[in-house]
Amino acid sequence: MNGRLREPPAALKQEEIMDVLLELQEVSKRYGDKIAVDGVSFSAPAGQLFGLLGPNGAGKTSIIRMITTITRPDSGKLFFEGRSLGGRHQSVIGYLPEERGLYKKMYVGEHLIYLGRLKGMDKADARQKAGEWLERFGLSERWGQRVEELSKGLQQQVQFIATVLHRPRLIMLDEPFSGLDPVNAGKLKEEIRGLAQAGAAVILSTHRMEQVEAICQRLVLINQGRTVLEGSLEAVRGRFQQNRYRLQYAAPWAPAADGPYPLLPIGEGEVAVDLPAGHTPNDFLAWAMAAGATVSSFRQDAPSLNDIFIRLVKQP
């Protein structure tokens, strides 16, 4: 299990220089006859929010368990700061599983201290940090309550605190917003951003695209155990940029159906157009104005992550 220092992989060199914290290289895992993960590679940089996306059953949980050192890959390697990832990294990894769970009979403060100490904190440090975090979430008065006395939402916040209490450098969050009301979800989003800004690599596993779109800088999309897509949010969007534009116009305008551009009506006073090869937006605008349109806005239609996701996952 000797770690080795590695050169950053070629793919990353092409993009911006990143401080890679976690790297997966051709990682595979099978359970019995079923191949759960099949040669997955990606890198999560420090100081950024990284989205791990995929439909249900894509192999996300298997990947998460390998990242959190709960299981080991059958083949391939995981690296933490260029060194082979192993049990000794448990103290610098924080993990919030999708299925939350705490010891119901323990007191909140006691529980946080216990989990912090298991991660290698000393008692006084764990106590102080737990106090600080509870205060941040406005939960200070819950210190002496039993976990089972808290509402589900509060338990979830306590569990988030337990995940980040020991100042982990790699934070693995599996569907962190599920079950939270919008106010608490927003609060949590801010905290997660803060942790990334403070230098941690935060991996967010979810099937909710808009969450990734809102807060992640990079992402990987997994389907049927394989990497379908990896890169920065902009790069991904750029790659799936279509030649589709939206034109809004002041009514009334009735363009002829047999024109050179196939128009898709979207709503009152708006049409979308897929520009055929060889045509520029200028060509289209010139044609539209010539056809009598009073243009009020014209913009490129960026594909949402959701569209990309659905398009890629649906492919055979």
Partner 1 sequence: MTNMMKQLRLIVEREYVTRVRRASFIAATFLTPLAFGVFIAIIHFIFRYESDDALRIAVVDPDHIFGGAIADEKNVYFKLVGEPADSLRSRAVREGDRFPFDAILAAPRAGQVLRKDYQVDYFSDRKLTLDAEPILLERLQGALRRHKIRQLNLKEEELTALDTRLVIRAHPMQPSEDDSSPFAGKIAAAIGVVMGLVMYTTVFIYGMMVMRGVMEEKTNRIVEVMVSSVRPFPLMMGKIIGIGAVGLTQVAVWAVLIPGILLAVNLIFGISPRPDTLPIETVDWNPADAELMIEQIAYDLYQMRWRLILPLFVLYFLGGYFMYAALFAAVGSAMSDDLGEGQSLTIPITIPVVLASYIMLAAIQAPHSTLAVWASIFPLFSPIVMPARLPFDPAWWQVALSLFLLGLTAVALVWLSGRIYRTGILLYGKKVNLMDLLRWMFR
Asked if residues 72 and 112 have their Cβ atoms less than 8 Å apart, the reply is: no
Q: How far is the CB of 90 from partner 1 (least distance, A)?
A: 6
- To partner 1, the closest distance from the beta carbon of 53 in angstroms equals 21
CB 27 within 8 A of CB 76: yes
Q: Closest distance between partner 1 and the C-beta of residue 100, in Å?
A: 6
| Whole-number Å distance between alpha carbons of 210 and 206 | 10
Bond preceding residue 303 cis, omega within 30 of 0: no
Compose the 80-119 pattern: x for residues touching partner 1 by CB under 8 A, - for all others: -------x--xx-x-x-x-xxxxxxxx-------xx-xxx
Closest contact distance (angstroms) between CB of 26 and partner 1 is 23
* Strand partners for 90: none
Q: Judged by CB under 8 A, which of 29, 60, 65, 167 binds partner 1?
A: 65
Q: In this complex, which beta carbon is closest to partner 1, that of residue 118 or of residue 251?
A: 118
Question: Contacts with partner 1: how many residues (CB under 8 A)?
Answer: 27
Binding status of residue 69 toward partner 1 by CB under 8 A: yes
Q: Closer to partner 1 by CB, 101 or 260: give it.
A: 101
Q: How far is the CB of 140 from partner 1 (least distance, A)?
A: 23
Query: Toward partner 1, which CB reaches closer, 103 or 311?
Result: 103
CB of 76 to partner 1, least distance (A): 19
Closest to 263 measured CA to CA, from 249, 304, 312: 249
CA distance 282 to 210: 32
181-240 residues in contact with partner 1 (CB under 8 A) are none
| 271 strand-pairing partners | 247, 265
Nearer to partner 1, 44 or 273 (CB): 44
How many other β-carbons are positioned within 10 Å of the β-carbon of residue 54? 25
For 69, phi then psi, to 5°, come to: 60, 20
- β-sheet bridge partners, residue 23: 43, 79
Report the 10 Å Cβ neighbour count for 202.
28
Which stretch in 19-27, 61-69, 188-196, 221-229 sits in contact with partner 1 by CB under 8 A? Answer: 61-69
How does DSSP classify residue 213? H
- In the complex, minimum distance from the CB of residue 115 to partner 1, in angstroms, rounded to a whole number: 7
The burial of 244, by beta-carbon neighbours within 10 Å (0-12 exposed, 13-18 middle, 19 or more buried), is given as middle
Question: Closest distance between partner 1 and the C-beta of residue 105, in Å?
Answer: 6
The β-bridge relationship of strands 201-206 and 170-174 is parallel
Q: Is 60 in the site for partner 1 (CB under 8 A)?
A: no
Q: What string marks each residue from 155 to 174 as x (binds partner 1 by CB under 8 A) or -?
A: ----x--x------------
Looking at residue 88, its amino acid is R
By CB under 8 A, tell whether 11 contacts partner 1.
no
Residues that bind partner 1 (CB under 8 A): 65, 68-71, 87, 90-91, 93, 95, 97, 99-106, 114-115, 117-120, 159, 162
